């Protein structure tokens, strides 16, 4: 599915304007997550960051241990409205 085309069709906006709207929404979500803020879309779900601890892993080819650095990841938890819609 082309998200921009779907937004343009459902809102009767030109594709260029729909592109601006979709980009603005994603930019706002990205900016909030960069600032470690939670983003709630009521009825849809919640985006939030989570910290992964550093650890060690193994190279599957050689079996050699290798360090895995700590990192920040994004988690999404679906809201009730979304869960109900896809069942």
User: Residue 63 and residue 67: Cα distance in Å, rounded?
Assistant: 13
CATH architecture of 40-87: Irregular (4.10)
> 87 pLDDT band (50/70/90 cuts)?
confident
The pLDDT tens digits of the residues spanning 48-82 come to 999 999 999 999 999 999 999 999 999 999 999 99
The pTM of this model reads 0.78
Beta strand segments in the chain, E = 39-41, 45-52, 55-58, 65-68, 71-78
Burial class (CB in 10 A: 0-12, 13-18, 19+), 39: middle
User: Residue 67 and residue 9: Cα distance in Å, rounded?
Assistant: 48
Q: For the chain, what are the domain ranges?
A: 1-37, 40-87
Joined together, the tokens standing for residue 71 give 């990192």
What residues have CB less than 8 Å from 38, skipping those under 6 apart? 32, 46, 47, 48
Provide the mean pLDDT of the chain: 95
Whether the pLDDT of residue 17 is over 90: the answer is yes
> 1 pLDDT band (50/70/90 cuts)?
confident
């Amino acid at each position: 599915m082309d998200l921009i085309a779907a937004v343009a069709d459902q809102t009767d906006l030109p594709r260029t304007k729909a592109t601006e709207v979709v980009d603005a929404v994603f930019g706002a979500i990205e900016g909030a997550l960069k600032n470690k803020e939670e983003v709630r879309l009521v009825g849809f779900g919640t985006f939030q960051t989570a910290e992964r601890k550093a650890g060690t892993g193994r190279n599957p080819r050689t079996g050699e241990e290798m360090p895995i650095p700590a990192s920040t990841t994004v988690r999404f938890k679906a809201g009730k409205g979304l869960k109900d819609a896809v069942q």
